[in-house]
Structure 1
């Protein structure tokens, strides 16, 4: 899809593609056909699960499922010519990128993802990329139960003591919307955030101006301005005790679908909460924005620190 894809075409194409994978009857039966409701991180119901593709749970320690062939129009094809996808293929199976693209420095390789340097290369700028062909946040397979938990894996790598730790006082993870990104292979930024961002989020939490259940995430009362590199931007704010649940599914179910928005237009940022000593405080702030809200944004780059 182009960056100019309109907001109504994505749900329509999601239905068409997933109809091929499941059959229209399965889609029309809704949540009952795919196992009820999605559990929120705090134990409350998060509403009906999004349309899903048939998947088989991955074996312990094995690779998670990848998008079925019916979704290649939305999620990308293995033959696509994207630089980040070439980097993934080199790290995963040794396929040399086409010239003049250089070979990447593969910092970590697993069956589900690889970790690479971001640009500019610093000790607090890394990327986590699926080994599956997934163009970005607009791919509906990300909302299903078969996908790997890339956000959790990004945190486990970026945290202090992780395999590729982000060496910055406060850590931020982020993903851009389709129109804001440069490359079309899904990548979660593992970077820093300013101390002022951490303080602002803790302030919002203490004032009760932050959702504590995914079902409250889209409420106007839980939208707040956070200052970044381009001034104030407004984000929907949510506090979670862990990253156990699929954040893509939570976003689609609780924000995008109820408000007739497009997943392609969304940005999402995860900021682990810190304590007074600078250590992890056992909670995560999850921010989402798009330009459907006043002073909203489609990019995570205003809050993340790369250089």
Structure 2
């Protein structure tokens, strides 16, 4: 096959199709030839019309310059944007399952995912917290991690879509150590010989020697010590109110965040339109836009495709880097 990247269209009622067609239109024919979109052909065509993209919609193996769509038929799609629908949740799941099938079979080098709606996904009977957990299940992976990558700040998360109470419980020595190892491996793959990693503390001021909690001393510090013993260049725990500023200004290549908002807030502050969501710990390469379905503007042609361009670029970089 000519294609090396597959893009899952995401929720058919969201902005996924729009940002996809705009991003592909912004790239040259050589890149478009390597990409197939997995989704609904009519939705892609409607998105192209809304966005003023004048490229033909082609079959995956059809010759010529255009947007290649691997059509996955799903009954009951609403046929319009901005609608919360279980059928769209089912479609989102099927698109991702098809992409994993291609990647696991060696017919795609990497997957780029457009946004899904978790409520629609669960309404369709697929009970996942998002892409990362679903991909881990579909690939048979024991665990997975979310990395948010940007030009000046990279963050990998110990936990993501769980309550804050549960996140504290998940910050075990074992999980933190595996997160450090996984982030270290990925950054080396992306070209850093000795990545500098910082581990954020979970409590204010890392607990102030137990004054504000003992999790940093009893769970996180031992993980950092174990990683250092393995030869990983890592520091921590470091108070979360300073570590991102230091990393953004060049002191560290990667920050280990203990929970969702601790990592997402700084990234979305400094790289809202350009950060890329990358799944680590899987046997396949996957990255994604770092935004939602935006039902409120879906179908208007207003959706910004800059993040999809960043995700495509990162997928190409992963494809060029040897998998360890």
Query: Where is the helix percentage greater, Structure 1 or Structure 2?
Result: 2
What is the TM-score with the length of structure 1 in the denominator? 0.29
Q: Does 1 or 2 have the higher relative contact order (CA < 8 Å, sep 6+)?
A: 2
Structure having the higher Rg: 2
